[in-house]
Homo-oligomer: A and B are copies of this chain.
Amino acid sequence: MTATITAFERSPDRGNGLARDMRLRWALEEVGQPYEVRLLSFKAMKEPAHLALQPFGQIPTYEEGDLALFESGAIVLHIAERHPGLLPSDPNARVRAIMWMFAALNTLEPPIFDRSLVRILERDKPWYEERLSALDEIIRKRLDGLVNHLGEADWLDGAFSAGDLLMVTVLRRLQGSGMLEARPNLAAYIARAEARPAYRRAFEAQRAVFDAAAAE
């Protein structure tokens, strides 16, 4: 049964791979599963039909037969549990891969996502510089934890996993900030992930939506 995901009709990041449907597309590409996409306007996301599926009015969602899900982390875990390729079979290694999924979304993403919002919404506020610099300090500490853990390894724990997939989607939001460039092993880690054929296919599919909307 082919799953259907939802995505932005007009990507706020101009097709740069940061919208969270990218995580689902990439996971589905890694495990070789086809999917369909239902595009939503910002208006449709706040209407009853979508709110019945996603109580917070966000994308992405995932529908597969009688299963309807939201939360990109949970959906990636569901895909990883159903199809080989994103979780190791050794039980302890499997739990550690899931640990990195939570670390990506609960330890790294909150300050990194905040930083994106501050740069968009608070640029003209009198506190902008002070607030950005406080956030950057938190982010740098967490990146340094990651730098030390990763060392010279290719991936966070053994083979590429759903933990790396989520971590890379979170870290990519910092591209251009200088904070990744200053940490060569993290920059190489992200480049290694972006070079995966499944990543490329997912990125191009998300970009195509933006290009089509822009050409209208």
Contacts and interface: CB of A to CB of B under 8 A. Distances in A.
Chain A contact-residue range equals 35 or more
Q: List the number of copies, as a whole number.
A: 2
A184 interface: no
A24 to B, nearest CB: 13
Interface string A89-119: 0001001101101110111011001100000
Contacts of A70: 99, 103
A114 B107 contact: no
A197 interface: no
A77 interface: yes
A148 B71 contact: no
In the complex, the 9 A-B pairs of residues with the closest C-beta atoms, listed nearest first: A55-B145, A74-B99, A71-B102, A110-B110, A55-B149, A73-B102, A56-B145, A74-B102, A127-B127
